[in-house]
Amino acid sequence: MTTAVETLAPARALPSARPGTIRRRTHPLWFLLPAYGLLLVFFFLPTVFNFVYAFTDWSGFKAEINPVGVENFTQLTSDGTLFRSLRITVVYAVLVAIFQNVFGFGLAVLLERDTTVNRIARTFFLIPVLMSALAVGYIFQALLKSSGLLADTTWTIVVVALIHAWKWMGLSMLIYLAGLKSIPLEVTEAAHIDGASRWRTFWRIRVPLLAPAVTFNVATALLGSMNGFDIVQATTGGGPARTTEILNIFIYRTFGQGLFAQATTMSLVLFLLVALMAFPVVYVLRKREEVL
Amino acid sequence: MSRRLQPVFALLLVAVVIGVPLWLVIATAGKSQGEAVDPDLTPPSEWHLLDNLRQVWTDADIPAALLGSLLIVAPTVAIVLLLGSMAAWVLARRGSRLTAVLYALGISGIILPPAVVTVVLLLRQLGLAGTAVGMIGVYVGIYLSTVVFFVTGFVRTIPESLEEAARIDGAGPFAVFRRVVLPLLRPVLATATILICLYVWNDVFYAFFVIGGRIDTLPLNLFQVASAGLYLNNWHLIFAYVILMSLPLVVVFAVAQRRIISGITSGAVK
């Protein structure tokens, strides 16, 4: 096996060498320069700065910036803020991912047939997706203020996650709808001919074939809500008693107080959290796709 | 679920889940200050919708905020689309390991959160703090990855023979890109335009750090007046503002609904 591949390899390399040199002229790399220059300056450089200024005493109260080692981290871990914000962020992200996908999937199944009523209904469920998240937050603050649901130290995080899911469920619905449409009719017909009930066909054939849509929806919901801000800020502002203070709320608050180094430290923590969670989440979900 | 019950259930769900919150916005925006203190679902005893809209328009200085929003959204979209598709075209057509690495780096911004705090420091060092140029740069940095991702995928579906015909006629790479590739990218660029307009138009978090207090955009203005000044608990004015701010998006949606839907789903399921 391996020898066959090895003998084939140089034979393949020959014709591909010429198009490679042509590509240099027809698709020059300098086309990448403007985009990657801006990416470097406005995206990668600030990220690198995160790794530097998290270890300084940068603040709004004095001009000079001095290195202080891991003092920001020890301070934020010793008063419990770091793990508390991390825990709240992860809980929020997981809750949003669950709610948004359950709602989106339910809506997609309910509104799957292309009838006039369903088309109108889908349009309405897309309105929240287009609205400003800040506006959504204010609407639910006004709606729920008198009920006390936004003032409970245990359950408010669940309520805010539900609001976040309400805003984005239309997007998940669209993606599940596209997934359902992409399943060839022959597959379900074959199952039907083999004597499978509609219920069984649905759960054993159609739902597993939705794996790519699940991957996309779970990944975007998780990562999007970890990076969330507007909805939490507009509904609770992080309260009550800081029980809904996700990382971006903390960053916003400490930045406003002039504690730039602490804000940077948390920004770095958020970066690491997303980076660390993104790879396993995408990997696991992709693996599931392959198995199916 | 039976075929006869399904439409009834679907409409009921729309009415409760979407209708109630939207009705709250319209009803409260139509109330007088006294009636709107404790917002609820009762209709206003007398409609003041137009008066409230007019009051927000002048008191909150919406024209200035609208101008600020347009000043930032339009160049951001133009730059991000042009530079993003230039890069995506070359990335899609060249199959080396270097371009694979560059592609991975280029789309990493879809997942990774931007460093909002240190970007302020960087802009200060560049002399761009609090300026529209700085804000546009930050948005371009954040959303280039989205454009690169969408357009690279799209370019791979275009046969290269179209480019070759122009090349035989003696067109250089820039002419090929401008006259052949760019026109072919129209559908995917339309999608990307809508998505990025949506993100940037509604953004308040990044704007707060970069231009907060210097330039007003619509969401930033709403955020400030609702959380501190003028409108604290003046729900009739907050929701009048929400209506005004959402109108442009509703118009865009009404015009380009099909495009938005196909765009949102195209990148996702494949």
Q: Which of residues 75-94 of B touch A (CB under 8 A)?
A: 79, 83-84, 86-87, 89-91, 93-94
Same domain, B28 and B80: no
Q: Which residue has the tokens 């560049």?
A: B126
Query: Would you call A92 an interface residue with chain B, using a CB distance cutoff of 8 Å?
Result: no
Residue-level pLDDT at A10: 41
Q: Write the ipTM.
A: 0.90
Same domain, B67 and B195: yes
For B171, list phi and psi in degrees, rounded to 5. -80, 135
Single-letter amino acid code for the residue at B176: V
Same domain, B19 and B106: no
Single-letter amino acid code for the residue at B146: T
Structural domain contains residue B237:
no
Structural domain contains residue B177:
yes
Same domain, B90 and B146: yes
Residue-level pLDDT at B268: 55
Query: Would you call B243 an interface residue with chain A, using a CB distance cutoff of 8 Å?
Result: no
- The H helix count followed by the E strand count for chain B is 15, 0
Provide, as residue numbers in chain A, all residues whose Cβ is less than 8 Å from the Cβ of B21: 139-140, 143
Same domain, B43 and B66: no
Of residues B76, B33, B84, the one with CA closest to residue B234: B33
- Contacts with B214 (C-beta within 8 Å, 6 or more apart), sequence order: B130, B131
Cβ contacts below 8 Å, chain A against chain B, sum to 241
Structural domain contains residue B235:
no
The beta-carbon neighbor of A111 closest among B10, B38, B122 is: B10
**CA quadruple B230, B234, B236, B237: dihedral, nearest 10:** 10
B220 φψ region: left (φ > 0), alpha (ψ -120 to 50), beta (else): alpha
**CA quadruple A53, A55, A60, A62: dihedral, nearest 10:** -110
Max Cα-Cα span within chain A: 77
Low-confidence ranges of chain A (pLDDT < 50): 1-17, 292
Residue-level pLDDT at B242: 92
First to last CA, chain B: 30
Same domain, B70 and B203: yes
User: Domain spanning A71-291: which CATH class is it, in words?
Assistant: mainly alpha
d(CA A263, CA A281): 26
Mark yes or no for CB contact A26/B163 under 8 Å. Answer: yes
Q: Give the distance from CA B221 to its chain's centroid.
A: 17
Residue-level pLDDT at B181: 93
- The pTM assigned to this predicted structure is 0.89
Low-confidence ranges of chain B (pLDDT < 50): 270
Single-letter amino acid code for the residue at A175: I
Single-letter amino acid code for the residue at B225: V
Provide, as residue numbers in chain A, all residues whose Cβ is less than 8 Å from the Cβ of B242: 132, 135, 138-139
Please tell me the total number of residues recorded for chain A in this structure. 292
What 3 state SS string does A207-270 have? CHHHHHHHHHHHHHHHHHHHCCCHHHHHHCCCCCCCCCCCHHHHHHHHHHCCCHHHHHHHHHHH
Query: Would you call A22 an interface residue with chain B, using a CB distance cutoff of 8 Å?
Result: no
Boundaries of domain holding B132: 62-211
Same domain, B19 and B71: no
Query: Would you call B162 an interface residue with chain A, using a CB distance cutoff of 8 Å?
Result: no
> What total number of domains does chain B contain?
2
Contact B184, B229 (CB under 8 A): no
Same domain, B28 and B160: no
Cβ density class A101-136: b for 16+ within 10 Å, e for less = bebbbebbbbbeeeeebbeebbbbbbbbbbbbbbbb
Q: Give the tokens for residue B86.
A: 């230039």
Structural domain contains residue B229:
no
Residue-level pLDDT at A283: 75
Contact A169, A100 (CB under 8 A): yes
For B70, list phi and psi in degrees, rounded to 5. -65, -40
Task: Mutate one of A18, A22, A33, A39 to test the B interface: name it (highest B CB count within 10 A).
Answer: A39
Same domain, B36 and B166: no
d(CA A274, CA A143): 32
Same domain, B88 and B184: yes
d(CA A166, CA A125): 9
Provide DSSP, B38-53.
S--SSPPSS--HHHHH
Task: Mutate one of A12, A25, A30, A42 to test the B interface: name it (highest B CB count within 10 A).
Answer: A42
Question: Domain segments of chain A: what residues?
Answer: 71-291
Query: Would you call A168 an interface residue with chain B, using a CB distance cutoff of 8 Å?
Result: no
Query: Would you call B122 an interface residue with chain A, using a CB distance cutoff of 8 Å?
Result: yes
Same domain, B42 and B126: no
d(CA A176, CA A198): 19
The domain boundary residue, chosen from B190, B211, B232: B211
Q: Can you tell me whether residue A67 is helix, strand or coil?
A: strand
Same domain, B182 and B136: yes
For residue A50, give how far its alpha carbon lies from the nearest alpha carbon of chain B (Å).
Answer: 6
CATH number of the domain that B175 lies in?
1.10.3720.10
pLDDT, tens digit (0-9, with 9 covering 90-100), for B7-43: 999 999 999 999 999 999 999 999 988 888 888 888 8
Single-letter amino acid code for the residue at B172: G
Query: Would you call A13 an interface residue with chain B, using a CB distance cutoff of 8 Å?
Result: no
d(CA A115, CA A213): 23
d(CA B137, CA B118): 14
Contact B187, B267 (CB under 8 A): no
Q: Give the tokens for residue A279.
A: 């790879």
Provide the β-strand partners of residue A67: A56
Mark yes or no for CB contact B93/A23 under 8 Å. Answer: yes
Structural domain contains residue B73:
yes
Q: Can you tell me whether residue B224 is helix, strand or coil?
A: helix
The domain boundary residue, chosen from B211, B231, B254: B211
Question: What DSSP state is assigned to residue A29?
Answer: G
Vertex A241: Cα angle to A92 and A90 (nearest 5): 15
Q: Which residue has the tokens 């020898």?
A: A3
Q: Can you tell me whether residue A148 is helix, strand or coil?
A: coil
The domain boundary residue, chosen from B211, B244, B260: B211
Mark yes or no for CB contact A53/B86 under 8 Å. Answer: no
Provide, as residue numbers in chain A, all residues whose Cβ is less than 8 Å from the Cβ of B141: 38-39, 41-43
